[in-house]
Amino acid sequence: MGDQFKDKVVIVTGGSFGIGQACAEAFAREGANVVIAARGEQNGNKAVESIRKAGGEAMFVRCEVADEDQVKNLIDTTIQKYGRLDIAVNNAGHGGERKLIADVSIEDFDSIMAVNLRGTFFCMKYELIEMLKQRSGVILNMSSANGIIGTPLFTAYTASKHGVNGLTKSAALEYAKDGIRVNALLPGGVATPLFDKVYGVDGPKREAVREGHPTKREGTMEEAAGATLFLCSDRASYINGACVSMDGGLTIQ
């Protein structure tokens, strides 16, 4: 166990699996009090149990980020338990199905926007209210390489992540004077259970993803967690309003 984030209070939305869980576990290893927010109670409680078994401190709060009342409850519960909020990683997201734009239903489009864009807005809104009280804090929004390029068959997801980048930059300008930093991390392909489900573990689709990255491989969840912890740390204290690519060079080709 380390002490880089000793006694810091950290919320990770979508923290029960994938990149979110890797981030939650990494913060806990560095001494943080971690609040895992997710829709699924079973996976959320398992993630908390894993952290506690490793000697860390964590709690689970059920939260659908597209629901404003549930987001408010998440923040209120965090404050009631730990008394403050130092860091928030807004990681909850929804990818949707691979479809041409003409085949995307209004319902599918709205559901992706509700989680990825409106959900990020709700989280930022109530996180910032608390951080303003203490005049300090760090917010990291989990965006995507899709947020700076056009991506066929992922139209709604791509649009939502462009929106997340806009929220990040605007909030960073609005709250810099209050001691609050807001950045975004933009992963490319990262090997997660969800990524495996979309592209397969092996086969032509997965190989095409690997070949699309100059590194000829996907990123790992541990690499995403490492970048997250750096951007939320004091070592990144002068990084604000940045949309930081973590994609093996994908978006600069």
Residues acting as catalytic residues: 157
Locus of tokens 């909850």: 92
If we measure between CA atoms, which residue out of 245, 237, 230 comes closest to residue 30?
A: 230
Give the Cα separation of 24 and 45 in Å (integer): 13
Give the Cα separation of 242 and 148 in Å (integer): 12
Q: Which residues contact 14 (CB under 8 A, 6 or more apart)?
A: 20, 37, 38, 65, 91, 92, 93, 142
Please name the helix (run of DSSP H) or strand (run of DSSP E) that holds residue 101, with its range, or none: none
Burial class (CB in 10 A: 0-12, 13-18, 19+), 69: exposed
Give the Cα separation of 131 and 105 in Å (integer): 38
Give the Cα separation of 223 and 246 in Å (integer): 9
Q: At 227, give phi and psi (nearest 5°).
A: -65, -40
Give the Cα separation of 127 and 81 in Å (integer): 15
For 93-242, where are the E strands, in sequence order? Answer: 137-142, 180-187
Whether residue 61 contacts residue 9, with contact meaning beta carbons closer than 8 Å, is answered with no
